[in-house]
Amino acid sequence: MAARRPRVMASPMTLAQLTEEQLLARIIPRMPRGVGVLVGPGDDTAVVRCDEATIVTTDAAVRGRDWRDEWSTPQDVGAKIVAQNLADVAAMGGRPLGLVVTLLADPATPVAWVEGFADGFGEAARAAGAGVLGGDLSSAPSGVLAVSVTALGTLDGRPPVLRSGAQPGDLVAVAGTLGRSAAGLVLLQKQRAELGPELVAAQRRPQPPLAEGPVAAIAGARGMLDISDGLLRDGSRVASASAVALDFSREALAPYAAQLANAVGPDTAWECVLSGGEEHSLLACFPPGQVPTAWTVIGAVREGAGVLLDGIPQLPGGWDHFRA
């Protein structure tokens, strides 16, 4: 009996094997069109019906810097970059209108990765009510894979909530979680994801409370932003813009740290709560009596400067793109 020949596994199809039009034909059906889109992908630009005040923001992610393939699926990457862009829209008090996405990829990138990214991106955009308006594709040097997204949002006729409006006597409140994404990153770095799968999930796919941005604006929030670089660092940005001090309460923050302590230890848990990035929860300052029900008060605005913890000045810490 003749010996069987070993099965030869086919190499995955790469971007180099498709034309741009063929790749777009695989990507565009995975993306929601959204409402208010008069002209979608396929022409030189999209055409979107906007009100008089339109929010515009952009963010980028680079493989090896913002995600690692051994930790995140392409679907995770797509969902995460939608979350971080739309959290910025929510932080102005707005709701999303649409997204424009650019992909820069080594031609050796598997087509399956791009399809998975498009699936995650499209699912997250659809869940948020944001259409995908179009974008761009570009080849990149060997090993490079990067994504850039521009988001558009509407204020629905309201003024934007800036970082610069906080006043002494306001209450500082948060919508969403604190420290969970950072704790998930710690577990991934230590290869102990099993100690906190829900924390790892928060790192891979943050879930910002997008609907709370407009809620806060309607309630009278006077200063707001999303927590992308850490509570203390982002809090210091509100403090600086408003020429005030933000005084956080250790007692109010303790429950957030307690939720992480079993997985990462008590000291690391506090570090994650105070300085952990990529949470994309919302931080806002409200006049007393005007804090919405889904928000938790974690401090107060005082005369002075910088960020405090129970009255003690703190270094901002947190993420800095060029000092990490």
Residue 100: predicted pLDDT: 95
Cα torsion 272, 273, 277, 281 to 10°: value is 150
User: Do 29 and 113 fall into the same domain?
Assistant: yes
- The structure tokens listed for 32 are 């929601």
Label residue 97 by pLDDT band (50, 70, 90). very high
> 212 lies in which domain range?
163-314
Asked, for residue 319, whether it belongs to a domain, the answer is no
Task: Indicate whether 213 and 283 sit together in one domain.
Answer: yes
Q: Return the pLDDT at 24.
A: 84
Across 210-225, average pLDDT: 98
Q: Are residues 168 and 310 in the same domain?
A: yes
Residues 191 and 286 occupy one common structural domain: yes
Give residue 271's identity as a one-letter amino acid code.
Answer: E
CATH number, position 113? 3.30.1330.10
Assess whether 186 and 310 both reside in one domain.
yes
Q: Tell me how far apart the alpha carbons of residues 64 and 174 are, in angstroms, rounded to a whole number.
A: 30
What is the pLDDT, as a whole number, of residue 200? 98
- Do 140 and 219 fall into the same domain? no
Indicate if the pLDDT at residue 321 is higher than 60: no
Confidence of residue 117 (pLDDT cuts 50, 70, 90): very high
Q: Are residues 214 and 115 in the same domain?
A: no
Residue 310 lies in a domain: yes
pLDDT at 198: 98
pLDDT digits (tens, 9 = 90+) for 178-191: 999 999 999 999 99
Same structural domain, 26 and 130: yes
Residue 41 has what pLDDT?
A: 81
Instruction: Return the percentage of the chain with pLDDT > 70, whole number.
Output: 94
pLDDT higher than threshold 70 for residue 320: no
Domain boundary among 154, 182, 206: 154
User: Nearest-5° angle of CA 87, CA 315, CA 322?
Assistant: 60
Name beta bridge partners: 309.
248, 312
In a domain, 55, yes or no: yes
Is the pLDDT confidence value at 6 over 70?
A: no
Residues in the chain: 324
Residue 190 to residues 68, 71, 200, 216, 272, Cα–Cα distance (Å): 14, 12, 12, 37, 15
Residue 41 covered by a domain: yes
Please indicate, yes or no, if residue 47 is contained in any of the structural domains: yes
> pLDDT higher for 284 or 318?
284
Residue 70 sits in the same domain as residue 175: no
Tell me if 3 is assigned to some domain: no
- The answer to whether residue 45 is domain-embedded is yes
Tell whether the model's pLDDT for residue 300 goes beyond 50.
yes
Mean pLDDT value across the chain: 92
pLDDT at 52 (0 to 100): 76
**The predicted structure's pLDDT at residue 323:** 56
In this predicted model, which residue has the larger pLDDT, 36 or 297?
297
In this prediction, residue 319 has a pLDDT band, given cuts at 50, 70 and 90, of low
Interatomic CA distance for residues 50 and 133, integer angstroms = 13
1 belongs to a structural domain: no
Domain boundary at 133, 154, 175, which?
154
Which pLDDT score is estimated for 318? 59
Q: What is the CATH number of the domain that holds 201?
A: 3.90.650.10
Most trustworthy range by pLDDT among 16-20, 48-52, 316-320: 16-20
Query: Mean pLDDT over residues 207-236, rounded?
Result: 97
Over 60: is that where the pLDDT of 197 sits?
yes
Q: What is the mean pLDDT of residues 247-252?
A: 98
Is pLDDT of 5 > 60? no
Question: Which amino acid is it at 152?
Answer: L
My answer on whether 171 and 127 are in the same domain is no
Separation between Cα atoms, residue 32 and residue 120, nearest integer Å:
12
Domain count across the chain: 2
pLDDT digits (tens, 9 = 90+) for 255-284: 999 999 999 999 999 999 999 999 999 999
143 and 229 both lie in a single domain: no
| Amino acid in the structure at residue 199 | L
Residue 1 has pLDDT above 70, yes or no: no
Cα(11)–Cα(323) distance, integer angstroms: 39
Last residue of a domain, one of 126, 154, 182: 154
One domain for residues 289 and 172 = yes
Looking at per-residue pLDDT, the higher value among 155 and 21 belongs to 155
